Structures are given as C-alpha cells and as structure tokens.
Amino acid sequence: MNSYWVDIHTHRPLDGRPGIRSLRIGTDFPDSTDGKISAGIHPWDAERAQREWLDGIRELQPAAVGEIGLDYAADIDREAQRTWLACQRDLAAELGLPLVVHCVRAYDDLKAMLNGFPLPVIVHGFTGSEQLASQLLGRGWYLSFGKTVERSPKTRRTLRSIPSDRLFLETDMSGEEIESVYRRAADIRNEPAESLRDAVHTNYLNLFGL
C-alpha cells in the first residue's frame, strides 16, 4: 500500500489529499466536504455556543470531534470553556469518535477532564516540553506538530523525543504544503522524510481507516 503525506489538522479544503479537515461549528459553513472531517465547538466560541451546535456535529458525521479544548490565554470565560469541553467529550464517547484538542496554558485541567476518556486523543499544534509530552503520551495520546516545529530549541527537542507511533503533522491555518512540514520535521528528527511519512500514514490508518 502506498503511503501519503497525511495532514491531520487543516482548515483548508483537502482537495483529495489524505487528512482531516477541521470545521469550527458556528463559524465554518462549508457548502461541501471532501474526505474526512472533524467538527467541534472551539474554546474561543464557548461564550456564544448553543446547544443545537451539538446536533450540528452529529449531522456532519465527522471522523473526529474537534477541535475542542481549553485556551486560558484567550479572554473567554473559563467555566464556559470547561462546560463545552465536557459536553463534547461526552458526545465523542457516545459516538465512538476520537478527539482533536486545542490546549493553551490549561493542561492540568485538560488532563483532569479527559481522564479515563476511552478513545484516542490528538493534541494539535503541540509546542510543549518533553516532560509534558511524556505525561500525555503516557495516557496513550497522540501529539501533532505544525509550522512551529522550528520555533524554539524546546519544541525541537520535544519533537525528537516523540515515538513515531504517536506522532502526527499538520498545516492548521497556514498555507504551507504538508510535505514541507514533514521535511522540516524529518530534518529535526534526523530521519528520512519518507520514513516519517510512512509512520504517520500508519497512525492515520490505525485511527481512521482508509
């Protein structure tokens, strides 16, 4: 089977590329979807979210619920963020779907709220320390890196420490091609880009199938 440059989290149309397109409920209103999607109430929208938005997630029949999470750097009521995270965590468990998580300065609360969640969790745009990465990996979570892979020595060290079977790569909202992200990440990890592509593609198949 051929391997592909999987983009696990992008806000752009996939146009036939393998990956997961993220739809922000209440903000994104695509006229069509191509391929697999994730759908969720972003923590930035927690103060204006409506209960019927949860029905919108169901109706889209996503491959994952997300991006959801906690962002304590944003000027958004934290209790509202936690409420919608809990609602969507429970919805994902009911539907049997993985989570795609956005987390900024809130990992203690995130870990507490997702403790015991029985399905895969992907933390997108991860820039944390090796110590934090080790804690999340110990829960069986996946970590995804994007255009910020070269942001700091800390991020580079963390990226090098991630086992290939717990790693994803993404473009998020950037216009960068996903293959470029792979090649920069592979340089940091001192491995061939094609080997990294194969490993991430295997992770994708394990979570989402063909």
pLDDT at residue 203 greater than cutoff 90? yes
First to last CA, the chain: 11
Q: Give me the residues paired with residue 104 across strands.
A: 71
pLDDT at 210: 76
pLDDT in tens, 110-125: 999 999 999 999 999 9
Where would I find the H helices in 5-139?
A: 52-60, 78-95, 107-113, 130-137
Q: Cβ neighbours of residue 64 under 8 Å, at least 6 residues apart?
A: 20, 36, 38, 92, 97, 98, 99, 100, 122, 208
Residue 111, domain member (yes or no): yes
What type of residue is 71? Answer: D
Q: The whole model's pTM is what?
A: 0.97
**154 is written with which tokens?**
């800390």
Give percent of the chain above pLDDT 70: 97
- Over residues 178-200, the mean pLDDT reads 98
At 104, which CATH number?
3.20.20.140
DSSP 207: H
Domain count, the chain: 1
Residue 2, domain member (yes or no): no
pLDDT at 150: 86
Q: Which domain holds residue 46?
A: 7-208
pLDDT in tens, 67-100: 999 999 999 999 999 999 999 999 999 999 999 9
Determine contact, residues 83/48, Cβ cutoff 8 Å: no
DSSP string for 139-159:
TT-EEEE-GGGGS-HHHHHHH
Residue 172 vs residue 15, higher pLDDT: 172
Determine contact, residues 110/101, Cβ cutoff 8 Å: yes
pLDDT in tens, 27-49: 877 656 678 999 999 999 999 99
Residue 1, domain member (yes or no): no
Model confidence at 151, pLDDT cuts 50, 70, 90, reads: confident
